[in-house]
Structure 1
Amino acid sequence: MAIRLQMLTEDPKEIELIERYWAVDESGQYLEKVSALEGIVEMAQGVTLASFIRQRCNAFDENQVCPKCAGLVEIKNRSQAKKVSQPSIKLCTLCQEDQDAIALEAQKAKAAELARQLTEYVRKQSTRTVDYSTIADRQVLLLLALDRAVTPRLTHGGFTVGDCRGLAPRYVGDFLQQLREAGLVLDDPTKARPGTYYWEGDEIWMFRDQVVYRLAPDAASRSADEVIRSLQDRVYTDAEGLFTLWLDYSVADVMRYLGAQCALYNHELSERELEEINSTLRSALETYSVSQLWSVVWKVVRDAASLANREYYNRPKAAATIPGKIRRNLEKVQRESIELKAWSRPEQHPAGTLGMVLGEILGVDENTSGHRVSSLVTWFTGQACSPTVEAELHEPVRELMTIALAHDVGSSVMLRFAELIRAGHDVGSAVEEIGSALRS
C-alpha cells in the first residue's frame, strides 16, 4: 500500500506528523497508532487528528484509480485506504468537480423550466371561472362543508389539505380531490412554500400536503362570500348524486372507526385489505346505518385480537382475517335476518362538517339506515313523484293490488307497505318486496 501525499503546509512539525500518520510497513500496516500521534502538535479543542491532517494535506491512494480518467483517488482517512489495487467507485477530485458542475447546471436548468412552467400554469389558472349555478348537487354540499371546515380561508385566502381535517372522519384528501377535478378549487403555486413543486422527467410534480388551494372565481364576478351564500339556497334535484355523497361520507365514518379499533389492538392492515373492507362496507351501507356497522367492526376486530393469542397464530395473521370476517358477518346477518345493534358515536370521533351539512339538509345521521337515506333523498329531490318513477311503478302497483284484492289481504298489504316506508324503503322496493311475498 502506497499513499502519495500533497502537503498544504510548510510547518516542519506538521509535515512530520502527517508523514508519520500515513507511514506503513511492507505489509501495508500503519506503523504508528493514532493514539500515539496525539499531542505531537497542539490542536484546537474539539479538532480530531484526522481532520487536522486533512486540512494540511491531500492524500491519494495509489491502489485506487478514478474509473473515468484513471487518476489517483483522494482519501480522507486511514480506513479509506486499500492494501491491494482495485477499481474505485469514487471519482477523482477533478472528475467529481466536473460531474458536480454538470449536475448543478442540470439542476439550474430544471429550476428554470419549473419556474417557466409554473408561471404559465398560474396564468392559465387566473383565467378560469366557474358558473356555480350549474355545479352538481353533491359538489354544493361539499363546498358548504368545506367552507365550515376552513372558515374563513375558503373565501379569504388559501388553505391546505391539513387545514381541512374537520371536513370528514377520513379520506379528506379524496373529498378535496373531487372538488379539484371539477375545477371548483384551484391550487395556487404563488402561495405554496418553496419545494412544493418540483420537476421530474418532463412533468411538474408536487407534494400534495403542501399545496395551497383556493376557491375558483365566479363566472358572474361575485365575491367568494356571495357564492357560498347563494349555494345555501340551492334546490336539490340529483337523488343519485346526493346518495353517492352520503355513501362516500359514511364509508369514511366507518373506516375511521375501524382504524381506531385496529390501533387499539395493534392490528395492521395492508392497502389491499383496506380496499376490500371499504368495498364491503360501501355495499352494506346501502342497507344498514353507520352505527350498525360500527358494531360489526367492533365485534370482528375483537375476534381477531382473541385469535392472535392462539397457538400457531400471530398478530399479522389475525389481522389478515378481518376483511373476510366482516364480509361473512354481514352475509350471516342478511341470510338470517339478524337485527344489528347500533353503537353510539365515540367522543373522540367527530362527525365532521360534511356529516353536519348532510344532517341539516337531509335529516340523517349515523343512526339512519341506507334504506332510509335512499328514501329521504328520493323524496327530498322530488324524484319520488316524477313522471318517470310514476310510469315505472304503474304496472308493479297494479299487479300488487290485483293480487292483494284476489286474496282479500288489502289491509295487510297496506300496513306492510307503511311499515317498509317507515323503515326507509322507497316505494319501488316496498312494492317489490310485498309482491314477492304474495307470489311465493
Structure 2
Amino acid sequence: MAIKLQILTADPQEIELIERYWAVDESGRYLEKVSELGGLIEMAQGVSLASFIRQRCNAFDENQVCPQCAALIEIRNRSETKKTPPRIPKLCTLCQEDQDAVALDAEKTKAAELERRLAEYARKQSTRTVDYSAIPDHQALLLLALDRAITPRLTSGGFTVGDCRGLAPRYVGDFVLQLREAGLVLDDPGRARPGTYYWEGDEIWMLREQVVYRLAPDTASKSADEIIRSLSDRVYTDAEGIFNLWLDYSVADVMRYLGAQCELYNHYLSEQELEEIKSTMRFALETYSVSQLWSVVWKVVRDAASLANREYYNRPKAAATIPGKIRRNLEKVQRESIELRAWSRPEQNPAGTLGMVLGETLGVDENTSGHMASSLISWLTGQSCSPSVEAELREPVRELMTIALANDVGSTVMLRFAELIRAGHDVGSAVEEIGEALRS
C-alpha cells in the first residue's frame, strides 16, 4: 500500500507530523499509532488529528484508481485506505459529481414526465362516467357498504384505503380494488400525497395505501347522494354474484379471527400458507357458517401451540402444520358428518359495514351456513321459485311425503326437515337425506 501526499503547508513540524501519520511498512501497516502522534504538535481545542492533517495535506491511495478518469482517489483518513485494489472501485470526487449531476438531471426529467402523465391520467379520469342502474348487484352492495364505512367522504370528497377500515374485518384493500377495477371508484392523483406515484424502471408505480379515490360520476349526471339512494332501492337478480360477495366477506371474517389467534400464540404464517388457508375456507364456507369455522380455527391453532412445546418441534414448524390441520379437520367433519360447534363473535372482531349491509339485505350473519346463505340469496333474487328448481324437487318431495304418510311419520319428517334447513342444508339435500333415512 502506498499513499501519495500533496502537502499544503510549509511548516517543517507539520510536514513531519503528516509524513509520520501516513507512513506504512512493507505490509501496509501504519508505523505509528494515532494516540502517539497526538501530542507532537499543538492543536486548537476540539480539533482531531485527522482533521488537522486533512487541512494541511491531500492524501491519495495508489490502490484506489477512478475507473472513469484513472485519477487516484483522495482519502480523508487512515480507515479509508485499501491494502489491495477494491473489487468495485469508486469514482473520484469530480467524476462522482459529474455522475450525480447527470442522475439529478435524469430525475428531474422523470419527475416532469411523471407530472405530465398524471395530469393526462387525471384528465381522462374526469371524462369517465358510470351507468349505476346497470352495475352488477354485488358491486351495488359493496358501494352501499363503502358509503356507510366512510360517510360522507364517498359522496363529498376523496378517500384512501385507510379510511375504509370499517368496511370489512380484513382485505379491505382487495374490496376497494374490486371497485377500482370495475371503474366505480377512480384515482384522484391531484389529491394524493407527494411520493404516492413514482418511477420503478420505466413504469409508474403507486403506494396503494396513499392513493386517493373518489366515486365515479353518473352517466345521467345524478349527484353522489342520488346514486346511493338509487342503489338502496334496486331489485336484486344476480344470485351468483351476491353469493360470491358473501363468500369474499365471510373469508375475510374467518381470516381475521385466524390472524388474531395466531398472534395470540406467536404463530407466523407465510403468504403462501395464508393463501392456502383462504382457499380451504372459501370452499368450506359454501357449506358451513363463519362461526363454525371459527371453532375449527380455534382448535387447530391451539393444537399447533401445544405441538410447539414438544421435543424436536419449534414455533415455525408448528405453525407450518396449521394449513394441513385445517384441511384434514374439515375433511373429517364432512366424512363423518360431525356437527361443528359455533363460536360467538369476538368483541375485537367487528362485522364491518359490508357484513351489516349483507345482514340487512339477505338476513345473514356469522351463524348462517353456506347452504342457508345460498337459499336466502336464491329467494331474494327470485331464483328459488324458478320452473327448473320446482321441476327438480317435484318428484323427490312427492316420494318423500308418500313414504312419510304411509308410515305415519309425517310430523317427524317435517321436524327433521326444519332441523336440516336450520343447519344449513338446502331443500334438495334435506329431502334427499330424509328420504334415504326412511328407505333404509
User: Please, what TM-score do these two structures have when normalized by structure 2?
Assistant: 0.90
Q: Tell me which residue corresponds to 1:68.
A: 68
Q: Tell me which residue corresponds to 1:222.
A: 222
On the 8 A contact 1:17/1:41 being kept in 2, the answer is no
Q: Does 1:145 align with 2:145?
A: yes
Work out the CA distance in 1 between the residues paired with 2:223 and 2:59. 69
Work out the CA distance in 2 between the residues paired with 1:196 and 1:8. 50
Residue identity (%): 80
Q: Tell me which residue corresponds to 1:394.
A: 391
Work out the CA distance in 1 between the residues paired with 2:42 and 2:185. 67
Work out the CA distance in 1 between the residues paired with 2:307 and 2:250. 28
1:186-201 matches, within 5 Å, as 186-201=186-201
SS at match of 1:169: coil
SS at match of 2:291: helix
Q: Deviation of residue 125 (structure 1)?
A: 0.6
Work out the CA distance in 2 between the residues paired with 1:337 and 1:53. 85
Q: Deviation of residue 400 (structure 1)?
A: 4.2
More deviation, 4-13/148-157: 4-13
Change (3 A) 1:122 1:26: same
The total of aligned residue pairs comes to 436
Q: Tell me which residue corresponds to 2:171.
A: 171
Change (3 A) 1:343 1:56: farther
On the 8 A contact 1:149/1:164 being kept in 2, the answer is yes
Work out the CA distance in 2 between the residues paired with 1:83 and 1:247. 65
Q: Does 1:22 align with 2:22?
A: yes
SS at match of 1:79: helix
On the 8 A contact 1:393/1:428 being kept in 2, the answer is no
Work out the CA distance in 2 between the residues paired with 1:91 and 1:234. 68
Q: Deviation of residue 433 (structure 1)?
A: 3.9
1:94-113 matches, within 5 Å, as 94-113=94-113
Work out the CA distance in 2 between the residues paired with 1:361 and 1:5. 84
SS at match of 1:198: strand
1:53-132 matches, within 5 Å, as 53-54=53-54, 57-84=57-84, 89-132=89-132
Q: Does 1:405 align with 2:415?
A: no
Q: Tell me which residue corresponds to 2:307.
A: 307
On the 8 A contact 1:144/1:232 being kept in 2, the answer is yes
Q: Deviation of residue 152 (structure 1)?
A: 1.8
Change (3 A) 1:240 1:76: same
Change (3 A) 1:117 1:49: farther
Change (3 A) 1:161 1:403: closer
- Residue 394 of structure 1 aligns to which amino acid in structure 2? A
More deviation, 95-104/420-429: 420-429
Change (3 A) 1:432 1:44: farther
Change (3 A) 1:86 1:404: closer
- Residue 331 of structure 1 aligns to which amino acid in structure 2? E
User: Please, what TM-score do these two structures have when normalized by structure 1?
Assistant: 0.90
More deviation, 169-178/425-434: 425-434
Q: Tell me which residue corresponds to 2:275.
A: 275
Q: Deviation of residue 75 (structure 1)?
A: 1.7
RMSD between aligned residues: 2.6
Change (3 A) 1:360 1:431: same
Q: Does 1:35 align with 2:35?
A: yes
Change (3 A) 1:295 1:399: closer
Q: Deviation of residue 14 (structure 1)?
A: 6.2
Change (3 A) 1:413 1:91: same
Q: Deviation of residue 367 (structure 1)?
A: 1.3
1:8-47: per-residue Cα shift (whole Å, max 9, x none)? Answer: 67788766654443333555333432223446454464x5
Work out the CA distance in 2 between the residues paired with 1:50 and 1:233. 79
Q: Deviation of residue 438 (structure 1)?
A: 5.8
- Residue 215 of structure 2 aligns to which amino acid in structure 1? L
Q: Deviation of residue 185 (structure 1)?
A: 0.8
Change (3 A) 1:92 1:334: same
Change (3 A) 1:56 1:438: farther
Work out the CA distance in 1 between the residues paired with 2:265 and 2:23. 61
Q: Deviation of residue 377 (structure 1)?
A: 1.1
Q: Deviation of residue 336 (structure 1)?
A: 1.9
